[in-house]
A and B are shown apart, each in its own frame.
Chain A
Amino acid sequence: MKKISLLVLSLIPLMANASNDVTQLEGSFKVGPAIILIFILSLFILVGILFRAKDTTDYYAAGRGISRVGSGMAIASNWMSAASFLGMAALMYGTGYHGLSYVVGWTGGYVLLLILMAGQIRRYGKYTAADFIGDRYYSKTLRTIGAVIAIIISIAYAVGQFGGIGLMFKWVMGIEYNLAVIIGGSVVLAYTLISGMLGVTKNMQIQYVIIISSFMIPLFLLTYKFDYFWLVPQIGYGSAVQDIVEGIQISEKSGLMNSLGHHFAIVPSPEYAMPWAPSSGQTFFQWMAIAFSLMIGTAGLPHVIQRFYVVPKARDARWSVVWGLFFICLLYWSAPVYSALGTILSANPEVGKLSPDAIVVYTAQLGNINPLIVGLLAAGGVSAAFSTTSGLLVAGSSAFAHDLYVKVINPMARPKTQMRVARLGTLLMAIIITVIAMVDLALIAQLVAIAFSMAGCTIFPLFLLGIWWSGSNRAGAKAGLIVGGIVTLIALTYLVGARAGWTLPYNDFFTYYLGAWYFAWIGAPLAIATNIIVSKLTGETPLEIRKFLIDKVHS
């Protein structure tokens, strides 16, 4: 104990090394933040070991023993990814009011999820999204496709998370981005393999507390320090937004400086808050399309839907959404505060171009907050990425082991074999995600938005019609899936084309109207319409499915 105390005491001077004497915010290894990060990651693994999965039911659905508030926290933690923690402020920092379309899209979707799906999904009683699709549409092919889509979506979503983990590890350790992605990815993989979803769910509750605390504490300090209403920073930053619009002259807040020695001042910048500012390069159409796509994507994401299986009954599933949304909103009300203060603190061109994805941490750093608290913030960002990635890896490996291996390849597989296959699936996914994350494709939130549009075009229509219209049959589902898949493919082709510098036919038209972050605005309605038309033209859904829907899901 004495030795530990001495070690901590000897590290204090290193930890307290503030960033006053630098010309840039990136730097070498940061001892204090690193210790906090290691402590939190160790805590996750410890909790994972203590609550590890004992069998497949535990692994997939946490034994269905989680309370409503606990499940709400798990929903929030599962949801509050690097895209929420880091990416949300990044979008508003770069594009102002346009970034709020992501805030609205990622919260408004829960209303749809609740009123249209949560209770019904729980009553349907399946473990995975592919399970539901396969059973509801009485098709092994659709189950397989559903599983593959769930895996692809999980991978697309997790790429952004690995990017966030890489950025934070890079910032803390002062190492190269690719190496940071590999180290961070290995730790999250080890944790998920050890624990499974039972550990994940327990862990998610702990993670939520860490995430939200680490996000909030610097906000109180920053708003207090820069003379805004600090008791409720989520309201107090309104004056900061207005200050950005009108500008702050040096004399107005004299004495207030950022950590690089610049005055707390900014020229009038109405483009930060005014809708669809021409300088942001974003339009009204894009705002609406993003909000809509993210909302329906929310209601179609496998790892989000899967969370409703871990509550005892449908009523709990419904109330857990309310709690989950409340816990999520605590973070979403706060993210714009970082963006607003970060905008003022980095307004001097001498600060240079900052990576928007790390603006949350940079804001705290520029605000001259104690490095240990900045470290806690970075650890919170990693924690947010970890919690979501764990859920995604579980959802993806469930699809791999349960929906592909057991239901299609080897129905006689023993639970032990099934667990082994699930773990193999997790490993494969982690490797693929790591490789893609190393190619810096887009902002974290934009990468995640791709997964949402994919889910909106494919899984959402199948769930919506599968639950609410018994007339939707196998042929309709397949046709809808094909249309949704084609729209997805076109959008992704043009995204890759743009990154690779190709000029594809009608390039401007498709990159604008089928933008990779919002192609579900048209893909989802087309998939739904196709499903309905083809279902009407083909045979009826089998009686046992219709009976099941009435007896189990709607009665």
Chain B
Amino acid sequence: MYLRYCKNLLFTLIPHPVETEDYKISFFKPTTQQALKNRNLIIKLFLAWAVAIFGFQVLLRVIEKPVPEEALITFSSAWEKIEAGEATYSDFQAAAQSMIQVMGKITIQPDHYAALKDGTGWALSKVYPEDELSELQQDVLYLSELRERITSLRDDEYLQTKELIISKAAPALDIGEGTLLAQLLAIGLDDNLQVLQEENRMMIPGIMDLYLIHNRSFLTDTIFLGFPFHYFYTAVLLLVFFIGLCWIYCYRTDKLHAKLNFLEQID
């Protein structure tokens, strides 16, 4: 009922066909029945098109909330204690684990990666036996050298050195040796484990915020055919809708032309 009222109101506000002999054309002042019907069809399809595209994105924007990843909550708590000088082993471990997780993100920028690498190595040095640290440092340097020399990432020596580093460093950070974080740790250690540059220390909390806070809502958290719903809507459904709109326009136009005996010239 309400929709019908709105529709009537909309079409009352829009000018209707005016029979004229002055050869003036205006989309909003159709001069024939065919033009009137065509205009109304275009307006309906245009509104559907605009709402489907922009309306949905506006809705997404309105209802979204910044939600931190679990890793950020862990990191923030640990980093606060580290900065206050009250950190325990588990705080260093938690901070390092969170930083490694961000280092594994595909979108990470090189300077951010370098800062986190510095931070991870430093955190590791705080929980690693001091007398064994130089040996680990040697292994890390050797891995870097090997990386320059090898022709295949499946090189035996390279893989063995990585495994050696994992077997030493991962337990110290409470990371399982067969995990993805352990793999990232092996290639994510700095050449100088004991020093965290002041510039990087300042940057790290901001970097963590940047990569670990996301705009989420029920539209992003609802799963549909395996997709987050908003992603499915924009990447798949909207395109189906566009084809549908085009089909409707052609079909309705053909019917209208047939009804009004509207013949198109061929040249």
Contact = CB atoms under 8 A, between A and B. Distances in A.
Interface residues of A, number: 96
Interface in A79-115: 93-97, 100, 103-104, 107-108, 110-112, 114-115
A373 interface: no
Given A115-B42, A242-B226, A288-B54, A260 B32 contact: no
A329 B243 contact: yes
Given A278-B210, A322-B247, A250 B183 contact: yes
Contact of A284 (B53, B61, B226, B246): B61
B76 to A, nearest CB: 16
A485 interface: no
Nearest to B41: A115
A469 B27 contact: yes
A349 B265 CA distance: 62
B34 to A, nearest CB: 8
Interface string A255-277: 00000111101111111111111
Given A270-B214, A276-B215, A249 B25 contact: no
Nearest to B70: A268
A2 interface: no
Nearest to A548: B23
B117 to A, nearest CB: 10
Contacts of A321: 246, 250
Contacts of B223: 242
Contacts of A179: none
A287 B53 CA distance: 11
Contacts of B35: 554
Contacts of B249: 111, 114-115, 318
A258 to B, nearest CB: 10
A224 to B, nearest CB: 16
A104 B32 CA distance: 34
A265 B180 contact: yes
Contacts of B110: 353
Contacts, number: 242
A329 B242 contact: yes
A543 B236 CA distance: 47
Interface string B36-53: 000001100110010001
Residue from B224, B234, B238, B250 having most chain A Cβ neighbours under 10 A: B250
Q: Is the interface of A mostly helix, strand, loop or mixed?
A: helix
A313 B53 contact: no
Contact of A245 (B42, B228, B240): B228
Nearest to A125: B267
Interface stretch (B87-95, B101-109, B123-131, B164-172): B101-109
Interface stretch (B133-141, B151-159, B193-201): B151-159
A23 B265 contact: no
A543 B21 CA distance: 11
Contact of B188 (A239, A288, A347, A349): A349
Interface string A111-124: 11011100100010
Interface string B230-267: 11101110111011011101100110010000001111
Interface string B197-227: 0000000000001110111100010011111
Contact of B211 (A279, A333, A347): A279
Interface stretch (A230-238, A299-307, A386-394, A444-452): A230-238
Contact of B32 (A96, A471, A553, A555): A555
A242 to B, nearest CB: 6
Contact of A313 (B214, B220, B266): B266
A322 B250 contact: yes
A253 B54 CA distance: 38
A555 B32 CA distance: 9
B220 A274 contact: yes
Nearest to A283: B61
A287 B236 contact: no
Contacts of B245: 111, 115
Given A267-B105, A318-B249, A326 B243 contact: yes
B184 A275 contact: no
A259 B246 CA distance: 43
Contact of A241 (B69, B187, B228): B228
B62 to A, nearest CB: 10
A267 B180 contact: yes
A352 to B, nearest CB: 10
A95 B106 CA distance: 10
- Classify chain B's interface size: 35 or more
A325 B210 contact: no
Nearest to A326: B243
B179 interface: yes
A546 B216 contact: no
A127 B154 CA distance: 59
A63 B40 CA distance: 34
B264 A123 contact: yes
A275 B242 contact: no
A400 B264 CA distance: 31
A79 to B, nearest CB: 14
Contact of A274 (B26, B105, B215): B215
A401 to B, nearest CB: 22
Nearest to A320: B250
Contacts of B210: 278-279
A249 B266 contact: no
B153 A238 contact: no
A322 B246 contact: yes
A519 B250 CA distance: 31
Contacts of A108: 49, 53, 238, 242
Given A23-B151, A279-B210, A318-B253, A242 B246 contact: no
B239 A267 contact: no
Closest 8 CB pairs of A and B: A238-B226, A238-B227, A267-B104, A239-B226, A546-B23, A468-B27, A470-B25, A274-B214
22 contacts: A21-B154, A22-B151, A22-B153, A103-B234, A108-B53, A111-B246, A115-B45, A238-B225, A266-B106, A266-B180, A271-B214, A272-B106, A275-B64, A276-B61, A277-B215, A288-B54, A346-B106, A468-B26, A470-B23, A470-B25, A546-B24, A554-B35
Given A250-B180, A272-B106, A329-B240, 18 more contacts: A20-B152, A119-B264, A238-B225, A242-B228, A266-B106, A266-B180, A268-B69, A279-B105, A288-B57, A318-B250, A319-B250, A322-B243, A329-B239, A348-B184, A469-B25, A547-B23, A554-B35, A555-B32
